[in-house]
Chains A and B, each alone.
Chain A
């Protein structure tokens, strides 16, 4: 999928995350979380896996995490990308 426009998904409620995506030349992932020191690398891995699965090769991905579990990360990233891919 291709990120064609700015899009957003999720909330900043506990156990959720807010995902912001926008078109960019390269693929970058920025993570903000109160637990970024402990879990930042795992959140990143999960997002990278999801992006690979969706065949997203470029775009700026910003996430604001509130302790989202893996399935929540998948769902929020996928929704944001689906919205960004719309014509």
Chain B
């Protein structure tokens, strides 16, 4: 029977169990479950952090039983009760079939990892955005816009001239200083006047906790290379074909090492999957390249003159408005 893992003794039992599968125990979970045999030996474990299932392992002697299905059912049942309906798992490619057998869909595969989802997922996401799909040679930018600057505006204007239609995907993951709602709204206002543009939320399908936790955690270990490849592959395999996207545009990155490595990974992986990667030099403010992190540093001053050179009037109005309060900024990255 599937039971909750309780107490330090059971937790260390799980930790040890996972190490047999080269899996790391992570404390951050909403649910942590296990299955024990009659002798009290742990034979299966699994956890859920929001919509991400993780730390799933089944003892080799019990892999022909229903232990795996029981465990995953219970994780999904609990997630559903938490109001979620689509779930993800990142696993090794050789485990993909076990998940597919219980109705997970393979979203993308890299040499060392497979990303699968369960539930309405990408089909529902695309269905929701069906009215904004255009034919032709389309392009995409994926931005966090924390907040939207004249640099974003320049990137979008330049990219839009090179394609029939440009999709501006705004990172939906809420791990930035400005909330998704604010960032999205400022992007929508900021692209006014560019006629062939549609603004969309990324959903979990780009730079999310699913594809790219390192981006938010500043995780600099070997996992990062895998995540970069996964994010690039997911974009090329899932988003690009559904929106007829042939070109992805990025701004050159003079400041942030991680973003630069992200751009490099896109350059490496996208072309071989049928999407051109075009890097556009950053817009400058006289001498310096404009960046959202600069804007965030200047917020304390709230000086109209300095901000005006970096952000469009829509963003400026918001930053100077009474609804915006610097104290409300969360400690996130761009």
8 Å CB interface, B78-113 against A:
80-81, 83, 85, 100-103
Q: How far is the CB of A26 from chain B (nearest CB, A)?
A: 15
Residue B66 CB within 8 A of the other chain: yes
Proximity bits, A4-36, B CB within 8 Å = 1, else 0: 001010011110001010000000001011100
Question: Which secondary structure dominates where chain B touches chain A?
Answer: helix
CB pair B70–A13 under 8 Å, yes or no, is yes
Given known contacts A33-B103, A66-B102, is B66 in contact with A8 (CB within 8 Å)? Answer: no
- Count of chain B residues with Cβ under 8 Å from any Cβ of A? 18
CB pair B72–A12 under 8 Å, yes or no, is yes
CB pair B120–A62 under 8 Å, yes or no, is yes
Q: How far is the CB of A24 from chain B (nearest CB, A)?
A: 13
- Count of chain A residues with Cβ under 8 Å from any Cβ of B? 16
CB pair A13–B80 under 8 Å, yes or no, is no
Q: How far is the CB of A38 from chain B (nearest CB, A)?
A: 15
Residue B311 CB within 8 A of the other chain: no
8 Å CB interface, A59-83 against B:
62, 64-66
CB pair B69–A14 under 8 Å, yes or no, is yes
**Closest residue of B by beta carbon distance from A36:** B103
CB pair A32–B103 under 8 Å, yes or no, is yes
Q: How far is the CB of B173 from chain A (nearest CB, A)?
A: 24
Residues of B contacting A32 with CB < 8 Å?
A: 103
Chosen A-B contacts, 10 in total, with CB atoms closer than 8 Å, are: A6-B80, A8-B80, A12-B73, A12-B102, A13-B66, A13-B69, A64-B102, A65-B103, A66-B69, A66-B102
